[in-house]
Amino acid sequence: MSNKTLVMKFGGTSVGSVDALKSATQIIRDAKRDWERVVVVTSAMSGVTNLLLDSAMLAAQGKVDSLPATESTLKEKHFAAAEALIQNVELRERTKQEISDLIFILVDLCNAMSVLGEASPRAMDTVASLGERMSVRLLAAIVDDAGVKARAVTSTEFVVTNNHFQNAHPDFKATAEKTRALLNPLMDEGIVPITTGFIGATPEGTITTLGRGGSDYSAAIIGAVLPADDVWIWTDVDGVMTTDPRIVPNAITLPEINYSEIAELAYYGAKVLHPKTIRPVLDAGIGLRICNTFNPSHPGTRLIAAVKSNGKVDGKVVKAVTAIRKQKLVTIEGRGMLGVPGVAARAFAAVASTGTSVPLITQASSEQSICFAVPSEVADSVVATLEKAFASEIADDDIDRVWATEDVSIVTVVGAGMRHAIGVAGRVFSQLGNNGVNVLAIAQGSSEVSISLVVDAADTENGVKALHELIVGAG
Ligand code: ADP
Ligand code: ASP
Ligand code: MG
């Protein structure tokens, strides 16, 4: 056996049904045959995290009427899988009881939130953690029942984070020590640790989450600290594709992608990989592969250090297209801005004070306006904060106004080969123009592997489809 340690992460759909769990179990069995040590990281069953968070939000508004329905949905979902896939009666009943206990915690928490009338980020993280705490027990029991020695482990015991609830940052040093101490003895005994993605805990033991979709990141953290040789992300599509196949059905799999390309894609909205996943595997020099639970013989996508030759796929420099929806463009404008020092620095400091990160910035050379994108839901508070920060400039008419657009989307084309190619931006513009998509703003990524265009929300799908034709099809 030449291969040593493999970390495999299963996403929500990959553990979301009886069929998916069957396939995941077979994948784990095969991996255990080929690899000396295997760690499995699992998401909550699909839909569960949303259901949990929705229940908590409603509870905080005093609405607990739908709680009994939520309770039975969660039971049905997990119990149906337990009944179909755990033959050992004792193990099955024990697993169901553990899941019931977790659902009971949800009910308790929601009732408490309804009394308090508030949903603090800290309480929301405890609620959100329940999905993975249920799925991990279910999957471990199913795998163990299928004859592959497995043990459920909750990552709050070894992923140590700060207390930035809902977007916690791991302490890699503390996490490394705890992860090795907990997982290595299990693996020495030939047991597959099956652990929760998405969640961690502060040094004091309070539950945190790594942000929505954060199970990918969990797999990368665990892979980096063990360290593992390879991290495989099992999802519901054949790897990283030229665009979201839900928007463009003829999207094709990219067999290879480099670090900067995947980083841009993930950052600009491709849900297939959480953007924070890349850094730990890159730093630790670990392999990363994205593959399909429902088509396991497909090789999927491999992350590679550098693109070969000029990075072109079939002679095309644009490799993939992606979109982030529900953004607004905020503009600060006024002719008097020309002489005012540090406007941009002050503007972004003010935005940062609201806890908002800005995915895209453009500034006209005339210095008469600064324009940037923020998520729609925070646009009003960002505008209010800016108006306050520039109150005296507004009073002096140096700044005319600060305003936000209606909803827009950021559509991004990605490809490392664009760095050396001439005329890509022109082709991108004319492709959009020919398809009736108006471009509101443009920005080029500093790494020059991406160009982002802001379009009206209504133009998102057409924009993505049109640009995808530059890769596959007519363009
Ligand atoms: P998981 O639950 O396995 O983490 P996600 O739903 O988070 O899965 O991510 C997988 C989904 O990402 C796919 O079903 C697909 O619709 C979407 N997606 C968006 N952009 C891309 C892309 N470029 N390549 C592949 N999938 C993409
Ligand atoms: N269950 C979590 C979420 O839905 C984490 C994940 O699936 O990656 O956000
Ligand atoms: Mg995901």
Kindly report, residue by residue over 114-148, the tens digit of the pLDDT. Answer: 999 999 999 999 999 999 999 999 999 999 999 99
Q: What's the pLDDT at 2? A: 47
Q: What angle do CA 56, 62, 64 make, to 5 degrees?
A: 65
396 and 448 both lie in a single domain: no
Q: Judge whether residue 475 has pLDDT over 50.
A: no
Q: Judge whether residue 364 has pLDDT over 70.
A: no
Q: Judge whether residue 216 has pLDDT over 80.
A: yes
Number of domains in the chain: 3
348 and 445 both lie in a single domain: no
280 found inside a domain: no
Phi first, then psi: give them for residue 114, nearest 5 degrees. Answer: -70, -35
Domain boundary among 196, 221, 236: 236
343 and 464 both lie in a single domain: no
Q: Answer whether 323's CB lies under 8 Å from 468's CB.
A: no
Q: Judge whether residue 106 has pLDDT over 70.
A: yes
392 and 429 both lie in a single domain: no
Q: What's the pLDDT at 432? A: 96
Q: What is the mean pLDDT of residues 159-181?
A: 98
414 and 352 both lie in a single domain: no
Question: How much of the chain exceeds pLDDT 90, in percent?
Answer: 85
Q: Whose CA is nearest to atom 8 of ligand 2?
A: 213
125 and 147 both lie in a single domain: yes
Determine the Cα–Cα distance for residues 171 and 155; give it in Å rounded to an integer. 13
Determine the Cα–Cα distance for residues 269 and 410; give it in Å rounded to an integer. 9
3-state helix, strand, coil in the chain (%, to 5): 45, 20, 35
Q: What's the pLDDT at 308? A: 56
Q: Answer whether 44's CB lies under 8 Å from 132's CB.
A: yes
232 and 123 both lie in a single domain: yes
261 found inside a domain: no
Q: Judge whether residue 94 has pLDDT over 90.
A: yes
User: Which residue range forms the structural domain that includes residue 396?
Assistant: 327-404
Q: What's the pLDDT at 461? A: 97
Domain boundary among 236, 263, 285: 236
pLDDT tens per residue across span 431-453: 999 999 999 998 887 678 999 99
Q: What angle do CA 216, 180, 214 make, to 5 degrees?
A: 15
Cα(439) to ligand 2 centroid in Å equals: 33
Q: What is the mean pLDDT of the chain?
A: 93
Cα(272) to ligand 2 centroid in Å equals: 12
- Residue 224 sits in a domain whose CATH number is 3.40.1160.10
220 found inside a domain: yes
Q: Judge whether residue 247 has pLDDT over 80.
A: yes
Cβ–Cβ contacts within 10 Å for residue 190, how many? 12
Q: What is the mean pLDDT of residues 453-468?
A: 97
Q: Judge whether residue 1 has pLDDT over 50.
A: no
pLDDT tens per residue across span 346-357: 999 999 999 888
Q: Judge whether residue 101 has pLDDT over 70.
A: yes
64 and 145 both lie in a single domain: yes
167 found inside a domain: yes
Q: Whose CA is nearest to atom 12 of ligand 1?
A: 272
Q: Answer whether 251's CB lies under 8 Å from 298's CB.
A: no
Q: Answer whether 314's CB lies under 8 Å from 261's CB.
A: no
Q: What tokens does 219 get?
A: 């797999």
pLDDT tens per residue across span 410-428: 999 999 888 777 888 889 9
Domain boundary among 205, 220, 236: 236
Q: Taking every pair of C-alpha atoms in the chain, what is the biggest distance, in angstroms? A: 77
310 found inside a domain: no
**At which residue do the structure tokens 């908002």 appear?**
356
Q: Is the CB of 215 under 6 A from ligand 2?
A: yes
Q: Judge whether residue 37 has pLDDT over 50.
A: yes
Q: Is the CB of 272 under 6 A from ligand 2?
A: no
182 found inside a domain: yes
Q: What's the pLDDT at 51? A: 98
333 and 227 both lie in a single domain: no
Q: What is the mean pLDDT of residues 57-74?
A: 97
Of 14, 27, 272, the residue with max ligand 1 atoms within 8 A of its CB, to mutate for a pocket test, comes to 272
DSSP H or E stretch at residue 344: helix 343-353
272 found inside a domain: no
Q: Is the CB of 198 under 6 A from ligand 2?
A: yes
Give DSSP secondary structure letters for 89-136: HHHHHHHHHHHHHHHHHHHHHHHHHHHHT---HHHHHHHHHHHHHHHH
400 and 414 both lie in a single domain: no
421 and 395 both lie in a single domain: no
pLDDT tens per residue across span 286-316: 999 999 999 999 999 999 876 554 445 555 7
Determine the Cα–Cα distance for residues 9 and 44; give it in Å rounded to an integer. 11
Q: What's the pLDDT at 321? A: 97
- Residue 454 sits in a domain whose CATH number is 3.30.2130.10
13 and 137 both lie in a single domain: yes
Give DSSP secondary structure letters for 144-192: HHTTS-EEEE-GGGT-BB-S-TTS--B-HHHHHHHHHHHHHHHHHTT-E
Tell me: cis bond preceding 185? Omega within 30 of 0 counts.
no
Q: Which positions ≥6 away from 198 have C-beta within 8 Å? A: 43, 44, 49, 128, 129, 131, 132, 209, 210, 214, 215, 218
Question: How much of the chain exceeds pLDDT 70, in percent?
Answer: 95
407 alpha-carbon distance from chain centroid: 22
Q: Judge whether residue 318 has pLDDT over 60.
A: yes
Q: Which residue has the higher pLDDT, 220 or 315?
A: 220
